[in-house]
């Protein structure tokens, strides 16, 4: 079941440097929320805190709370591995495991979690590849290397790998930035299908893409040179692009800066 996400008083550090300051936002289940803003404003940093990937970086720390259906994922009793199983992530560049077959790429996460039977894995592979709209293209070559697929197919394979472990949330960090327009359209269509089952957060530099795929949009910006990033506003996507509350949002969307 898709999860509701809340960030409360979130401060994100790289060592002693405060990278993002005082983020408060709510993301509804089974919806798409887009993070937009200029480079270096903290969009991807905030995204990585939502599934505790930020703390993988040496010296990186988080203050505040990220609540998943009311449970703080940064509570000392919470296992970060379980968090990352519940909150899947798709990265900017397709990153299938190069030495693994398409089949083994999809089930890699399941094998880490235990030793499921082959019959169970077969069902998961078909379900996940169908979910990523890739099954018909690869069903006759599941034993071939995942790295042999086109860029767009590789990104859909990575999405299949993410949903194979049945997460409730999918985070996507600029999933189309390395793809051609046709592959981008395929991923955007897929996002619209996936939101029926998952809570989706997407970081994108492409404002047209944010307008096409999301119900809500969060605009991030730097507080000033050398100062931390901050969430300027979050609202319904149509309002953000037609009548934002903050002047800084309007200036960015209209191209006056950024």
User: What's residue 189's pLDDT?
Assistant: 93
Confidence at residue 77, expressed as pLDDT on a 0 to 100 scale: 95
**Enclosing H/E stretch for 158:** helix 151-164
Q: What is the pLDDT of residues 144-199, one digit of tens each?
A: 999 999 999 999 999 999 999 889 999 999 999 888 899 999 999 999 999 999 99
- Whether the pLDDT of residue 16 is over 70: the answer is yes
**CATH of segment(s) 5-253:** 3.40.50.300
Half-sphere exposure of 191 toward its Cβ, with a 13 Å CA cutoff?
Answer: 29
DSSP letter (8 states) at residue 135:
H
pLDDT tops 80 at residue 138: yes
**Going by DSSP bridges, is the β-strand pair 229-236/216-222 parallel, antiparallel, or unpaired?**
antiparallel
Domain boundaries, the chain: 5-253
Position 113 confidence tier, pLDDT thresholds 50, 70, 90: low
Give the H or E element holding residue 122: helix 118-131
Render the burial of 178-190: b for 16+ CB within 10 Å, e for the rest.
bbeeebbebbbeb
Q: Please give the Cα distance from 93 to 152 (Å, whole number).
A: 10
CB 93 within 8 A of CB 178: yes
Note whether 248 and 232 are within 8 A (CB): yes
Can you list the alpha helix ranges (DSSP code H) found in 60-117? 80-86, 102-113
Digit-coded pLDDT (tens) for 186-241:
999 999 999 999 999 999 999 999 999 999 999 999 977 778 999 999 999 999 99
Instruction: Output the pLDDT for position 257.
Output: 65
Residue 117 in this model has a pLDDT that exceeds 80:
no
Q: For the segment 55-101, what is each residue's pLDDT rounded down to a tens digit? A: 999 999 999 999 999 999 999 999 998 999 899 999 988 899 989 99
pLDDT digits 0-9 by tens, 30-41: 999 999 999 999
What local confidence, expressed as pLDDT, does residue 93 receive? 87
């Amino acid at each position: 079941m898709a999860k509701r996400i809340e960030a409360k008083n979130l401060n994100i550090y790289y060592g002693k440097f405060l990278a993002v300051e005082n983020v408060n936002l709510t993301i509804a289940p089974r919806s798409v929320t887009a993070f937009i803003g200029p480079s270096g404003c903290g969009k991807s940093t905030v995204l990585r805190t939502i599934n505790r990937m930020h703390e993988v970086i040496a010296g990186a720390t988080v203050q505040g709370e990220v609540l998943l259906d009311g449970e703080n994922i940064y509570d000392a009793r919470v296992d970060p591995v379980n968090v990352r199983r519940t909150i899947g992530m798709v990265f900017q560049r397709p990153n299938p495991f190069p030495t693994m077959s398409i089949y083994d790429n999809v089930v890699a996460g399941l094998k880490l979690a235990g030793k499921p039977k082959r019959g169970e894995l077969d069902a998961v592979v078909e379900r996940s590849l169908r979910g990523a709209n890739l099954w018909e293209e690869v069903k006759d070559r599941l034993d071939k290397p995942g790295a042999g697929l086109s860029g767009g197919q590789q990104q859909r394979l990575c999405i299949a790998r993410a949903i194979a472990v049945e997460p409730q949330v999918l985070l996507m960090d600029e999933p189309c930035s390395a793809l051609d327009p046709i592959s981008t359209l395929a991923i955007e269509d897929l996002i619209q299908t996936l939101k029926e089952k998952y809570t989706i957060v997407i970081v994108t530099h492409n404002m047209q893409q944010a307008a096409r795929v999301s119900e809500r949009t969060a605009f991030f910006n730097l507080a000033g040179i050398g100062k931390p990033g901050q969430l300027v506003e979050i609202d319904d996507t149509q309002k953000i692009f037609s009548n934002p509350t903050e002047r800084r949002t309007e200036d960015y969307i209209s191209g006056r800066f950024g």
